[in-house]
A and B are shown apart, each in its own frame.
Chain A
Amino acid sequence: MSLKDVISPFYAWKKTLDKPYTIKNPIAEREGAERYRGFHTNDVEKCIGCGTCEEICQNEAIDMVPVQGADPQRGDSGLRPKIDYGRCCWCALCVDVCPTGSLGMSNEYKWVTPDAEEYGFIPGVDIKPWNGAEKGYKRSDEAWLLRPGLKNMPVVEPEERRQTFDEMALGYNDNLALLEANRCLECGICVEACPTHMDIPQYIKAIRENRLEDGLQILYDTNPFSESCGRICTAHCQDACAMAHNGDAIGIRWLKRYITDNTWQRRDDILHGDNRITEREKSVAIIGGGPSGLSAAYYLRQQGYTVTVYEKHDKAGGMLRYGIPEYRLPKAVLDREIETITRIGVQLKTGVAIGGDISFEQLRRENDAVYIAVGAQKGTAMPIEGMETPGVYIGVDFLDRIAAGERPDIGSRVLVVGGGNTAMDVCRSSVRLGAAEVSVLYRRTEKEMPANAEEIEEAREEGVRFDFLVSPVRISRLETGLRVECRRMKLGEPDASGRRRPVPLEGSEFTLDVDSCIMAIGQKVDSSMAHGTDVHITRWGTFEVDAETLQTNVPGVFAGGDCESGPDDAIKAIADGKKAAWFIAKYLQAEHN
């Protein structure tokens, strides 16, 4: 051993003169780094209680519990995550997966308490010094474990589709359906938003696991019009979807369509191949062969009753056939759906009007219960001068004629008045009838339009022009067409419905010269068939029912769908039909005993 080896270690003594490495006061002086994964924070307002954090936590440290101050409501389950810090490993998987981005972490790392139970805490609800901390690990877009983008439905191009009434949406193929179904979190918040509470997470799971027959059975448990709804439903479920907060909602409607598209050929086999219904003695009459009436018929028949549906038109389907154009819902699809319903033993009598061919009283006598589902099919006319001028049409009548096969000649300049889905159907049908210039007048702005945003967008793509804050005042006949005098509006105070009412601007009149004008401003219920009976009708013409059982004031007479609530969407009518079927059955069983 050399001398160097003996002397060299003494070099360490120079460290006595150096500054020590330790921090004198670490608790106060050293805070966690900006990205530090410290204790959890939760924005209780943003959180929707979907439970995805609970599902992904790898150590089962999270429970979903009800809390004060958060009640269940549309799109929010009212539960909030409670994290057991004895099990949490601070991996931030829960933060990375949160669909709303409400769950985050602060950079706090010190928590001393003598009570161990405190460590099972509810972030955001329990008051803690790090609530609302800015620093700490928060989910970034890149780190987000979910995919926000919707797989778009392939559609026919606008240029091509404005010339034909053929169906516009082409349907998902297997690949797109699987990718879209994989985005679902299975949280179940959508089920509440659906009026008929379809088991949405379950049928999406059936798509993922390639069990389409099971999926079809799940669909028909709650909705016998699944194939139509797969094309035209207003999809409240998608509005409530957890992914919609920071991305696109799951394409639930298109996934429903995928199931029915791939199973309709074997549908009767899958659903009712081995069906055996326990027959019962009683009979029920249903007035109206629309979605509400036929749904009630399907579920009443499944419960064993003899069911007869009376429909005044030549074909059943109601507004689904006569109010929705072919390019959104092909009649062939509707026909085969109605056939699935009638084939389990539902009697369908078309071309029979109650109140005309058969009286309401006679129906009541001959059956043990009656369900009224006549819908709201009368179009409202605008209370202005010139409504009877030739060339002025009412929206629903116009669509009715097109659905029956007619192609009315409306010329090349068409004006449509209204802002709902009917107005959109009318203007897009006008385009397909060959009108070169189609404009839509609406008295409020686009934000207040009740039509689906998709419908408005597709109408724009097809060349429809929109004029907002305009209302017609008078229509007069010219030699070459119609002269419509219009007035501009501005938005004033909110009215009873909560929307700001339009106020006419003085001196803003102008005229438009068009070939036809179609009014699509609303629909009314035609309750004339019940005139002279003891069924109560409200002053708006709708039937008055008990909110829970859908029974009118007359025992054994029930009403539901548009004729009970006023014009609404198809899925609500279907929900009413199903509910009425159940309560009619209970009424009949109670009567039996």
Chain B
Amino acid sequence: MKSGASSAITVPTEAHSDRTDRLSPWNPFWARETELDLDSGRYVKIWQGPQHPGVTGNMALEVTLEGDVVRDCKTHIGYLHRGFEKLMERRKWIQCFPIVCRICVPEPDTNEYLFAAGVEELSGVEIPVKAAWLRALVLEMIRVASMTMGLGGQAGAYGLGIVGQWAVVHRDYMLDLFEELTGGRVYHMYILPGGVRQDLPEGFSGRMEKVLRMFENLIVDIEKVMFDNAVFKARTKGSGVLPREWVEPFGVTGTTARAAGVPLDVRKDNPYLIYDQLDFEKIVGGESDIYERAFLRKEEILMSIRLIRQILKRMPGEGPVRRKLPNVLHWQVQAGETYVRAESGRGEMGYYMVSDGGEYPRRVHVRGASYTHAMALLEQMARGQSIADIAGLMVSLQTCPPEIER
């Protein structure tokens, strides 16, 4: 095993060069099964997951080890399958929105927004301007909360539990704000077709400013404790490298793609809500290792905080926040199909919705950002890693099992 002054614990050279010359599209290496002789006594199979502190959510990795090095990895999902897409086909359009937020636990509002946007597009309902601002505010708030928790998880995967504790606490303060605004802490059910449920309560901006300052202090602390940390740097720099050429075949989006140098951000590329009126840039890196991805996430938290401040300042003062829908008990949405997308913490999230003109949706298909990250990409990236680093790799890809299997 090599160990370098600044490189990760172990990246066996053989495996790495093995990969680079297989990148021809005419030679899809990802289609071939690895041939391992399991009876030879060289290999050990471990299940990492589904209940495991090193797994984000409930997902299992069936890992075949040779010594400490992963030779083969298979992702097993299905522990969080609730059958939402089928359930939605049995519920009227308005009855679907309480279900949708449960598709992703750390970031439920993106789901609510996408469902509402899809229905509004199919049925031709236009939301008031203030509602669009409130939706953007909520989306940015949940981005901050979810990415903070992601940073905490990232540190925790390397044993730096203290950052995890801080992150969860600060997320709780953000959840307090959500409770005040929407009436729920984790599942908000605030964004629904037609607009949002209610306007901001009194004094909300003041309390938000206090919480944002707390987050900024937290980021300063995290920078000192996590990013300027010799152990963390030694373990994460150069590890879990995602070659830029892999972004396209695996459909990688979000921070993972931006860390690899591919500037993809739905908020800028296909602006939705009022993002075209806000002032921000894409945050792009180049190293594409675990450290870079965590660093970019930290930068994004800061950028989201700035966005929240912008939104609060520029939001129109008075105005309706809800457009009345036709009687929701008999609401029939026009026939058609559409695809709406948004930028979640993990990448591009999209809803493909088909209506046949009836009271029930014909098909709602949720495209989670971690769908290909966790299944196809992780299986390939895990090869050649040390078993100790798998957890960190998984968290850095921000895989979120609930949105993989809905």
Q: Point out residues on A near B: beta carbons under 8 Å.
A: 1, 4-6, 8-9, 11-12, 15, 21, 32-37, 52, 55-58, 89-93, 97, 137, 140, 142-143, 145-147, 179, 182-186, 208
B98 at the interface (CB under 8 A from A): yes
Chain B residues with Cβ below 8 Å from A91 are 97-98, 189
Q: By the criterion CB–CB under 8 Å, are B98 and A143 in contact?
A: no
Say whether, besides A52-B329, A182-B327, A183-B327, A12 and B95 are in contact (CB < 8 Å). Answer: no
Chain A residues with Cβ below 8 Å from B234 are 1
Chain A residues with Cβ below 8 Å from B225 are 8-9, 11-12
Say whether, besides A12-B162, A92-B189, A143-B197, A55 and B180 are in contact (CB < 8 Å). Answer: no
Chain A residues with Cβ below 8 Å from B162 are 12
Q: By the criterion CB–CB under 8 Å, are B94 and A8 in contact?
A: no
A15 → chain B, closest Cβ, in Å? 8
B189 → chain A, closest Cβ, in Å? 5
B32 at the interface (CB under 8 A from A): no
Q: By the criterion CB–CB under 8 Å, are B96 and A36 in contact?
A: no
Binds A, one of B47-55, B316-324, B387-395: B316-324
The 6 closest A-B pairs by CB, nearest first: A91-B98, A58-B95, A8-B228, A5-B230, A35-B183, A11-B224
CB<8 Å pairs between A and B, sample of 24: A1-B5, A1-B6, A5-B228, A5-B229, A9-B226, A9-B229, A9-B230, A12-B225, A35-B183, A35-B198, A35-B201, A36-B183, A37-B189, A55-B329, A56-B329, A57-B95, A92-B183, A93-B94, A93-B95, A142-B198, A143-B322, A145-B94, A147-B327, A185-B329
Say whether, besides A12-B162, A89-B98, A142-B321, A97 and B328 are in contact (CB < 8 Å). Answer: yes
Please report the C-alpha to C-alpha distance between residue A11 and residue B218 in the assembled complex, in whole angstroms: 12
Q: By the criterion CB–CB under 8 Å, are B230 and A6 in contact?
A: yes
8 Å CB contact of A137 from B183, B322, B324: B183
Closest residue of B by beta carbon distance from A185: B329
Please report the C-alpha to C-alpha distance between residue A35 and residue B188 in the assembled complex, in whole angstroms: 11
B46 at the interface (CB under 8 A from A): no
Q: By the criterion CB–CB under 8 Å, are A143 and B198 in contact?
A: yes
Q: Of B189, B199, B225, B329, which is in contact with the most chain A CB atoms at under 10 Å from its CB?
A: B329
Q: By the criterion CB–CB under 8 Å, are A35 and B95 in contact?
A: no
Q: By the criterion CB–CB under 8 Å, are A33 and B179 in contact?
A: yes
Please report the C-alpha to C-alpha distance between residue A179 and residue B176 in the assembled complex, in whole angstroms: 41
B304 → chain A, closest Cβ, in Å? 22
Chain B residues with Cβ below 8 Å from A179 are 326
Beta-carbon contacts under 8 Å, B60-83 to A: none
Chain A residues with Cβ below 8 Å from B110 are none
8 Å CB contact of B95 from A15, A21, A56, A143: A56
Q: By the criterion CB–CB under 8 Å, are B224 and A142 in contact?
A: no
Q: Of A1, A32, A34, which is in contact with the most chain B CB atoms at under 10 Å from its CB?
A: A1
Chain B residues with Cβ below 8 Å from A12 are 162, 221, 224-225
Q: By the criterion CB–CB under 8 Å, are B322 and A146 in contact?
A: no
Please report the C-alpha to C-alpha distance between residue A185 and residue B329 in the assembled complex, in whole angstroms: 7
B111 → chain A, closest Cβ, in Å? 14
Q: By the criterion CB–CB under 8 Å, are B180 and A33 in contact?
A: yes
Chain A residues with Cβ below 8 Å from B327 are 146-147, 182-185
B84 → chain A, closest Cβ, in Å? 12
Q: By the criterion CB–CB under 8 Å, are B325 and A145 in contact?
A: yes
Chain B residues with Cβ below 8 Å from A58 are 91, 95-96, 98-99
B256 at the interface (CB under 8 A from A): no
Q: Of A9, A15, A146, A185, which is in contact with the most chain B CB atoms at under 10 Å from its CB?
A: A9
Beta-carbon contacts under 8 Å, B86-103 to A: 91-92, 94-99
Chain B residues with Cβ below 8 Å from A93 are 94-95, 98
Chain B residues with Cβ below 8 Å from A11 are 221, 224-225
Please report the C-alpha to C-alpha distance between residue A147 and residue B174 in the assembled complex, in whole angstroms: 34
Say whether, besides A9-B224, A9-B225, A142 and B330 are in contact (CB < 8 Å). Answer: no
8 Å CB contact of B233 from A5, A35, A143: A5
Closest residue of A by beta carbon distance from B180: A33
Question: B228-239 interface mask toward A, CB cutoff 8 Å, 1 = contact, 0 = none?
Answer: 111101100000
A559 → chain B, closest Cβ, in Å? 43
B169 at the interface (CB under 8 A from A): yes
Say whether, besides A9-B224, A55-B329, A208-B330, A34 and B96 are in contact (CB < 8 Å). Answer: no
Chain B residues with Cβ below 8 Å from A4 are 228
Please report the C-alpha to C-alpha distance between residue A183 and residue B328 in the assembled complex, in whole angstroms: 9
Closest residue of A by beta carbon distance from B90: A58
Question: B175-189 interface mask toward A, CB cutoff 8 Å, 1 = contact, 0 = none?
Answer: 010011111100101
B362 → chain A, closest Cβ, in Å? 18
Beta-carbon contacts under 8 Å, B301-322 to A: 320-322
B137 → chain A, closest Cβ, in Å? 16
Say whether, besides A11-B225, A58-B96, A145-B325, A182 and B201 are in contact (CB < 8 Å). Answer: no
Say whether, besides A11-B224, A36-B179, A147 and B98 are in contact (CB < 8 Å). Answer: no
Beta-carbon contacts under 8 Å, B141-194 to A: 162, 169, 172, 176, 179-184, 187, 189
A514 → chain B, closest Cβ, in Å? 50
Q: By the criterion CB–CB under 8 Å, are A1 and B230 in contact?
A: yes
Please report the C-alpha to C-alpha distance between residue A588 and residue B97 in the assembled complex, in whole angstroms: 59
A151 → chain B, closest Cβ, in Å? 12
Chain A residues with Cβ below 8 Å from B99 are 58
B258 → chain A, closest Cβ, in Å? 25
Please report the C-alpha to C-alpha distance between residue A1 and residue B4 in the assembled complex, in whole angstroms: 11
Please report the C-alpha to C-alpha distance between residue A186 and residue B325 in the assembled complex, in whole angstroms: 18
Please report the C-alpha to C-alpha distance between residue A56 and residue B95 in the assembled complex, in whole angstroms: 7
B376 → chain A, closest Cβ, in Å? 33
Question: B331-370 interface mask toward A, CB cutoff 8 Å, 1 = contact, 0 = none?
Answer: 0000000000000000000000000000000000000000
A590 → chain B, closest Cβ, in Å? 46
Chain B residues with Cβ below 8 Å from A56 are 92, 94-95, 328-329
Please report the C-alpha to C-alpha distance between residue A172 and residue B233 in the assembled complex, in whole angstroms: 74
Please report the C-alpha to C-alpha distance between residue A21 and residue B218 in the assembled complex, in whole angstroms: 13
B156 → chain A, closest Cβ, in Å? 14
Chain A residues with Cβ below 8 Å from B183 are 33, 35-37, 92, 137
Q: By the criterion CB–CB under 8 Å, are B182 and A35 in contact?
A: yes
Q: By the criterion CB–CB under 8 Å, are A142 and B322 in contact?
A: yes
Chain A residues with Cβ below 8 Å from B172 are 21
Please report the C-alpha to C-alpha distance between residue A501 and residue B275 in the assembled complex, in whole angstroms: 69
Q: Of A35, A52, A208, which is in contact with the most chain B CB atoms at under 10 Å from its CB?
A: A35
- 11 more contacts with CB within 8 A, not counting A34-B180, A36-B184, A143-B322, are A8-B224, A12-B162, A21-B172, A36-B179, A56-B328, A58-B96, A89-B98, A91-B189, A97-B328, A142-B198, A183-B327
Chain A residues with Cβ below 8 Å from B179 are 32-33, 35-36
Please report the C-alpha to C-alpha distance between residue A186 and residue B329 in the assembled complex, in whole angstroms: 9
Chain B residues with Cβ below 8 Å from A143 are 197-198, 322
Please report the C-alpha to C-alpha distance between residue A155 and residue B5 in the assembled complex, in whole angstroms: 89
Chain A residues with Cβ below 8 Å from B176 are 33
A85 → chain B, closest Cβ, in Å? 15
Closest residue of A by beta carbon distance from B168: A21
Please report the C-alpha to C-alpha distance between residue A33 and residue B198 in the assembled complex, in whole angstroms: 14
Please report the C-alpha to C-alpha distance between residue A97 and residue B221 in the assembled complex, in whole angstroms: 47
8 Å CB contact of A8 from B98, B229, B329: B229
Please report the C-alpha to C-alpha distance between residue A34 and residue B181 in the assembled complex, in whole angstroms: 9
Q: Of A33, A93, A147, A208, which is in contact with the most chain B CB atoms at under 10 Å from its CB?
A: A33
Chain A residues with Cβ below 8 Å from B233 are 1, 5
A34 → chain B, closest Cβ, in Å? 7
Q: By the criterion CB–CB under 8 Å, are A90 and B229 in contact?
A: no
B97 → chain A, closest Cβ, in Å? 8
Chain A residues with Cβ below 8 Å from B184 are 36-37, 90
Closest residue of A by beta carbon distance from B95: A58
B181 → chain A, closest Cβ, in Å? 8
B134 → chain A, closest Cβ, in Å? 12
Chain B residues with Cβ below 8 Å from A185 are 327, 329
Chain A residues with Cβ below 8 Å from B169 are 21
A59 → chain B, closest Cβ, in Å? 8
Chain B residues with Cβ below 8 Å from A90 are 184
Please report the C-alpha to C-alpha distance between residue A11 and residue B182 in the assembled complex, in whole angstroms: 36
Chain A residues with Cβ below 8 Å from B94 are 56, 93, 145
